[in-house]
A and B are shown apart, each in its own frame.
Chain A
Amino acid sequence: MDSYKQLLQQAKDSEKGDAPSTNVIKKAVASSKRKLIVTTLTIALLIVPTCYMLTFLYYAFGTKSTTLMDVTSQTLYVTEPNTTLEELEFDMNFSLFSMGLSFEQFKQIGDEVYPVKHYDTRFMLNNLVEKNITSKLEKSYPKYPTETNQWLVHPDNRAEFNTIEEQRKLKGLPNETVVEAYISLNDLYSVDKVIQQMPNVDVTWAAIYTGVEDTMLSARGNVVSPIGYPVQPDQTNWSPFKNATSHEQTFLSILNFLADYEETATAVSAHKNLDLKERIKYLEQHDMKTYGVVITGPKAEVEQLQTLTMIKHMKLGEVKLWNWVR
């Protein structure tokens, strides 16, 4: 063996002596694998809580959860006749990038307020993606609004229901009942004048003329539905009309607020279109007049109202057993 080969052999031998044993290598590989698995697991487990925190931050500093709740509740106050909502009946829950909002809708029938609908809504960030309504109503308002199927009808528009049939139904009810009725007027009146004409019943909601109700079509040709405001003083904490000096001004300010969130408001409401900007413009230039109101009271008192010349159509709503204690 020459000196070069001897040198190589010596180098190989020394490498063998310095090299770690197989056990040490195996341990190092196992430890490295373990760390890699746990690192991957850590990263995977951080994704969902981080997204959840981002969701909370979005609803706190982006589109606020309270804003979406206000849009939802105020939309129902102005689009659903004879409606109230209870603050503590609202239930909020949050999941990844979405917010669920559930609540009860109430109606005054006679002297008492009854739960009539349960809403389950879900917003994906600020878009309404799910709306489930469980209704306890015996008479449901038309689900798909058209120009003529409304229960509150402008004097120049046509009604699909037959008022004489409705009057017969009312006549056939026992005297020990209270009813809700949708009264359409023969002209435009101020809300105060209508209330004066109906002293023995509660006028709960007034549909306001906004320049489009004679055809139920907006300037853009969209089918619209009645909007209005609750007439009775509302002491519910949640109500935007609580302690309101003027329900008309509150109504207008609600419309202005909803105009910024019109897409959401339209999705929440049962209406096809709200076309708020056009209607707000009309209301700002004209006095508020009503063409139809929702009333509730004893059957006999509602029946007596048929003698009023200002009433053109009447549609019977909900009926309950006697609860009128005045």
Chain B
Amino acid sequence: MELGALKQSIFNVFGWASVSLGLWTLIMINSWIIVGYDAPFTSRNFIILIFIFGIIATISKSSRSLGMWGIFLGCYLVLFMIVIFFVGWFIIPFP
């Protein structure tokens, strides 16, 4: 019974880690846009971790919603990167 509770809390930790990393990346993006500070977009490793933690969290039923939440944030960040990179390349005609 205690081993089960431990397992459950570990999966929950992965779920919260996934969501927290996603939110931290979003905070960085928000501050970059609002302040206009040209910070390098180096959150690729963060996004990979968000996905890994999120997938682990979906294994357990109790932390599945957190895992899905983390994966959603990861997907959103990937979409953001794609739009900013490709559309940005399209609208700024300079090298």
Contact = CB atoms under 8 A, between A and B. Distances in A.
Nearest to A93: B36
A52 B19 contact: no
Most chain B CB within a 10 A radius of its CB, from A45, A90, A94, A96? A45
A95 B76 contact: no
A48 B91 CA distance: 19
Given A53-B80, A66-B91, A92-B92, 19 more contacts: A38-B23, A42-B19, A42-B23, A42-B69, A45-B27, A48-B29, A48-B34, A56-B84, A56-B88, A57-B83, A57-B87, A60-B87, A60-B90, A60-B91, A64-B91, A87-B94, A88-B94, A93-B36, A95-B36
A90 B19 contact: no
Interface in A75-96: 87-88, 90, 92-96
Contacts of B91: 56, 59-60, 64-66, 92, 94
Interface of B: 19, 22-23, 26-27, 29-30, 33-34, 36, 69, 73, 76, 79-80, 83-84, 87-88, 90-94
A41 interface: yes
A56 B79 CA distance: 13
Which 6 residue pairs of A and B lie closest in terms of their CB atoms, listed nearest first? A45-B26, A65-B91, A56-B87, A59-B91, A53-B83, A60-B87
A66 B90 CA distance: 9
A295 to B, nearest CB: 33
A87 B93 CA distance: 10
A38 B69 CA distance: 10
Interface of A: 38, 41-42, 45-46, 48-49, 52-53, 56-57, 59-60, 64-66, 69, 87-88, 90, 92-96
Contact of A45 (B23, B83, B90, B93): B23
A52 B36 CA distance: 12
B19 A48 contact: no
Q: Is the interface of B mostly helix, strand, loop or mixed?
A: helix
A49 B92 contact: no
A120 to B, nearest CB: 14
B83 A56 contact: yes
A34 to B, nearest CB: 9
B38 to A, nearest CB: 9
A49 B94 contact: no
Contacts of B80: 49, 53
29 contacts: A38-B19, A38-B23, A42-B22, A42-B23, A42-B69, A42-B73, A45-B23, A45-B26, A46-B26, A48-B29, A49-B29, A49-B80, A52-B33, A53-B79, A53-B83, A56-B84, A56-B87, A57-B87, A59-B91, A60-B87, A60-B90, A64-B91, A66-B91, A66-B93, A87-B94, A92-B92, A92-B94, A95-B36, A96-B33
Contacts of B26: 42, 45-46, 49
A270 B29 CA distance: 38
A93 B32 CA distance: 13
B53 to A, nearest CB: 15
